[in-house]
């Protein structure tokens, strides 16, 4: 449940914060969300990654369809990727990796600060 909650909150954060802030501010926000929601490590990794990657993919496809611009195709050709859809896929993978490592960093930071009791019988 925390994984789904983190994914939805990351997607909302990316949609509203990405147009006004650089990507690294969004990454810090994802890490803070990962620390506050506190899923396990894999849940933080996948939640942050899916939230940011799918949102970047959706925004790229929306802008390409809405504007009907030849810019993605031209940039794909310029970068040697072929078509603009390949560039969109590369953008989605990059967004996934940035979000995933941000979410994982937030979970690991929370685990670093949590106090674990010592000398407690755990029978």
pLDDT at 74: 85
Domain span holding position 108: 1-28+70-113
Res 118 pLDDT > 80 = no
Would 45 be classed as within a structural domain? no
Structural contact between residues 99 and 51, judged by C-beta atoms closer than 8 angstroms: yes
pLDDT at 70: 82
Would 118 be classed as within a structural domain? no
Would 55 be classed as within a structural domain? no
Confidence band (pLDDT; 50, 70, 90) for 25?
Answer: very high
The structural domain count of the chain equals 1
Mean pLDDT of all residues in the chain? 89
User: What mean pLDDT do residues 59-71 have?
Assistant: 86
CA distance 123 to 56: 47
User: What mean pLDDT do residues 34-40 have?
Assistant: 88
Written as one string, the DSSP assignment of 13-40 is HHHHHTTTS-HHHHHHHHHHHHHHH---
pLDDT at 67: 87
pLDDT at 69: 81
Q: Check residues 23 and 122 and name the one with the higher pLDDT.
A: 23
pLDDT at 123: 55
């Amino acid at each position: 449940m925390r994984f789904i909650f983190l994914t939805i909150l990351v997607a909302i954060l990316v949609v509203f914060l990405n147009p006004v802030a650089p990507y690294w501010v969004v990454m810090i926000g994802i890490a803070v969300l990962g620390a506050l929601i506190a899923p396990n490590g894999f849940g933080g990794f996948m939640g942050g990654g899916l939230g940011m990657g799918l949102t970047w993919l959706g925004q790229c496809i929306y802008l390409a369809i809405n504007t009907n611009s030849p810019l993605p195709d031209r940039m794909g050709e310029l970068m040697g990727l072929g078509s603009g859809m390949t560039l969109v896929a590369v953008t989605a993978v990059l967004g996934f990796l940035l979000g995933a490592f941000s979410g994982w960093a937030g979970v690991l930071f929370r685990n670093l600060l949590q106090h674990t009791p010592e000398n407690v019988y755990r029978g």
